[in-house]
Structure 1
């Protein structure tokens, strides 16, 4: 197997190209994706109130409450694609994610996950990982108010495809 060393700019272009393909697939196959999302949601643990309207204010939306960490790459009535970057030794402000999503991890390391009260919910002590040992994509249910802290020496980087419909 060949190994290619890419410059940061080339990696960014590759990531954007991959996200563009993913968005095209999501938009182009919404009915199949919706069925898969519903099936995944049925087995995924709930992290938000079960039914009814979204109970949290729009001011807690990730893009509004933590814009320095969440950048919109693409948005329409069906999906919103976010680039999420949490620099080393940094904690995001409290925020929510209203829609179920698929998270694609570019790289990740150690960190902490806090609930709305600031209580520590989970701590990852796994050192920085990138490459084949990293689980790249996973389903994520909507998330109630939370904050993520990166306690590692490298930035956490994700692409989050939120399914609005």
Structure 2
């Protein structure tokens, strides 16, 4: 059984209002939405407005080795994201919702908050990685992500394209 993070909307006033699994050829997309925003933002600053997040911690500014801008205008920013084996990204955030298309990813990635606590495995990206069979591409609809860092403990490079939507 594949579960979506929407399955974790336990509070009565935060019922799941949508879950979508897309299979595009050999790709899978997992998307969800809860009525209470903080339920699908499992990190710090879950109640703050992403527009107020410190620009010094924007992914491109704080982790340029891992986030390369390949296109940007006033509506979109497209990043190439690369995380080599045994590498860890510095603390950073993604203030805009995005679609993340991964062509190389594996279960040996770990998400941490600024205090070094490992993030719960039900987060969108971690759940999608666990459900993916490794063929084609993995496509994940992502909410804005507060400060965190990712560690690749595997022997393979993680690679993908992240399309951030500035005007949401």
Cα shift at 1:138:
1.2
Aligned to 1:54: 51
**When you count strand as a share of all residues, which structure comes out higher?**
2
- Secondary structure at the aligned position of 1:121 is classed as coil
Q: Which has the larger radius of gyration?
A: 1
In structure 2, list runs of 5 or more residues that go unmatched.
1-30
Q: Measure, in 2, the Cα distance between the counterparts of 1:69 and 1:58.
A: 17
Aligned to 1:113: 111
Change (3 A) 1:46 1:55: farther
The CA RMSD measured in Å over matched residues stands at 2.7
1:146 aligns with 2:153: no
In structure 1, list runs of 5 or more residues that go unmatched.
1-38
Change (3 A) 1:46 1:61: same
Q: Measure, in 2, the Cα distance between the counterparts of 1:42 and 1:122.
A: 17
So what's the TM-score if we normalise by structure 1? 0.66
Q: Measure, in 2, the Cα distance between the counterparts of 1:41 and 1:105.
A: 21
Aligned to 1:17: none
Aligned to 1:22: none
So what's the TM-score if we normalise by structure 2? 0.65
